[in-house]
Amino acid sequence: MGQRTALYDAHLAADAKIVDFGGWDMPIHYGSQIQEHNVVREDAGMFDVSHMTVVDITGPQATQYLQYLLANDVAKLQEEGKALYSGMLNDKGGVIDDLIVYRADALGGYRVVVNCATREKDLKWMNEQIAKFDATLTEQPQLAMIAVQGPEAIAKAQLAASADHANIIEQLSIFQGLPCGDWFIGRTGYTGEDGLEIMIPADEAPAFWDALLNVGVKPAGLGARDTLRLEAGMNLYGNDMDETITPWQAGMGWTLALKDDREFIGKEALLAEKAAGIEYKLVGLVLETRGVMRSHQKIIFTASDKTGEVTSGTFSPTLQQSIAMARIPADAGNECAVDMRGKAVPVRIVKMPFVRNGQKIFE
């Protein structure tokens, strides 16, 4: 038996199929992964993401610590609650984890949300680095987290929330999070739709989950979360990047703040890699025939004997065709095929994301 969130009984009551996910007993779906995917694209769905790790960084040198720890620069966060996405790198520039950090003056510094599967190594690394600074890292295990996502997510979450919480939701700009009492409400997500990620005391989570159900928000499991994030061109740690892959090779170059004198872990390695020539890149693939691309399938090229690899692949419920992310040699050319059981099936390289706000956006 794995760890269970405060919403475990609510998942059982909704006939969830429970699977192990990073040591947690989590819902993969509630009957139909495709229906759950579609409701997020068309209306509003909700996910239990209480397995994520929430930590607060406080103290006189909280900013300096995060500027050293992260490849993106928290000095960009000029407004209360504003958030940014960043890689946390090792000395070789590999991605230890990707995370979101919010400026949280009301909490005394910053709030950081990291992945559940990497919790132990993340906290070990973060605590090792913070020893050099006058700052404190405090995990917040008492918090559950519910993600409400979709074109109707904001409106329905306001209906389910108290007047005070609804007022905070009304104030939020995209990629901003603000506290309200013991709650912290972020206008962020992992689906390519508008929505919220709401950190809430665990003992209040079941009642709020029920309130969301009562206004028509449908539960969605990890299966739909994966197809949604892939359509949105969002990386999954352990698939699309890890400690051996740098942000340059993971489509995360846009998160690197390299143009100032700030020193951060991995910067020297990143600059050296760029100067030498970045060998691999992450691209989107579309399969325009039957079949489904899957992780670890080999990519072969017409004009080169070099090969690439699918990092994440699925059938897209929105597009009704298979899509994938793949890491390929930067100079291998654009005509390629995926090796599917020994057969070279042509695929097309496209710019990600595949879907935004429910609509196909690639050419």
CATH number assigned to the domain comprising residue 66: 3.30.70.1400
In a domain, 249, yes or no: no
- Nearest CA to 248 out of 282, 296, 285 is that of 282
pLDDT above 90 (res 221): yes
Residues 192 and 71 reside in one and the same domain:
no
φ, ψ for residue 191, nearest 5 deg: -130, -15
Determine the 3-state secondary structure of 285 from DSSP. strand
**252-283 CB burial, b ≥16 within 10 A, e <16:** bbebbbeeeeeebbbbebbeebeeeeeebbbb
pLDDT tens across 99-156, in order? 999 999 999 999 999 998 889 999 999 999 999 999 999 999 999 999 999 999 999 9
User: What is the structure's pLDDT at 116?
Assistant: 84
- Location of structure tokens 């599967």: 117
Residues 74 and 206 reside in one and the same domain:
no
Q: How many CA atoms lie within 13 A of 185 on its CB side?
A: 23
User: What is the structure's pLDDT at 362?
Assistant: 86
Average of per-residue pLDDT values in the chain:
97
pLDDT tens across 308-330, in order? 999 999 999 999 999 999 999 99
Can you name the residues that pair with 95 across neighbouring β-strands? 89
φ, ψ for residue 200, nearest 5 deg: -140, 140
What are the residue ranges of helices labelled H in the chain? 8-13, 33-42, 62-69, 119-130, 153-160, 163-171, 205-214, 222-231, 267-276
Q: How many domains does the structure of the chain reveal?
A: 3
The CATH number of the domain where 221 resides is what?
Answer: 3.30.1360.120
pLDDT tens across 334-346, in order? 899 999 999 999 9
Can you name the residues that pair with 83 across neighbouring β-strands? 102
User: What is the structure's pLDDT at 248?
Assistant: 98
pLDDT confidence tier of residue 350, bands split at 50, 70 and 90? very high
pLDDT tens across 82-106, in order? 999 999 999 999 999 999 999 999 9
Residues 33 and 99 reside in one and the same domain:
no
Residues 38 and 161 reside in one and the same domain:
yes
The CATH number of the domain where 301 resides is what?
Answer: 2.40.30.110
Determine the 3-state secondary structure of 82 from DSSP. strand
In a domain, 3, yes or no: no
In a domain, 264, yes or no: no
Q: How many CA atoms lie within 13 A of 345 on its CB side?
A: 19
pLDDT confidence tier of residue 2, bands split at 50, 70 and 90? confident
User: What is the structure's pLDDT at 303?
Assistant: 85
Domain boundary among 121, 154, 174: 121
In a domain, 243, yes or no: no
CA 216 – CA 36 distance, rounded (Å):
13
Domain boundary among 121, 152, 178: 121
CA 191 – CA 236 distance, rounded (Å):
12
CB-CB neighbours of 18 under 10 Å: 16
- Give the rounded percent of residues in the chain with a pLDDT score beyond 90: 95
User: What is the structure's pLDDT at 77?
Assistant: 98
In a domain, 87, yes or no: yes
Q: What are the Cα distances from residue 87, in Å, to 38, 91, 97, 275? A: 30, 12, 6, 20
Q: Are strands 45-48 and 218-219 parallel, antiparallel or unpaired?
A: parallel
pLDDT above 90 (res 63): yes
In a domain, 100, yes or no: yes
Q: What are the Cα distances from residue 110, in Å, to 58, 246, 258, 279, 361? A: 7, 25, 22, 35, 34
In three state form, how does the secondary structure of 42-59 look? HCCEEEECCCCEEEEEEC
Residues 149 and 44 reside in one and the same domain:
yes
In a domain, 205, yes or no: yes
pLDDT above 90 (res 62): yes
pLDDT above 90 (res 363): no
In a domain, 241, yes or no: no
Residues 225 and 303 reside in one and the same domain:
no
CA 143 – CA 358 distance, rounded (Å):
30
Instruction: Say if CB 169 and CB 161 are below 8 A apart.
Output: yes
Residues 353 and 289 reside in one and the same domain:
yes
φ, ψ for residue 218, nearest 5 deg: -100, 140
Helix then strand count (H, E) for the chain reads 9, 21
The model carries a pTM of 0.96
Domain boundary among 231, 261, 291: 231
Residues 299 and 161 reside in one and the same domain:
no
Residues 48 and 161 reside in one and the same domain:
yes
Residues 62 and 162 reside in one and the same domain:
no
Determine the 3-state secondary structure of 224 from DSSP. helix
Structural domain containing residue 222: 8-52+141-231
User: What is the structure's pLDDT at 146?
Assistant: 98
Residues 25 and 78 reside in one and the same domain:
no
Residues 71 and 150 reside in one and the same domain:
no
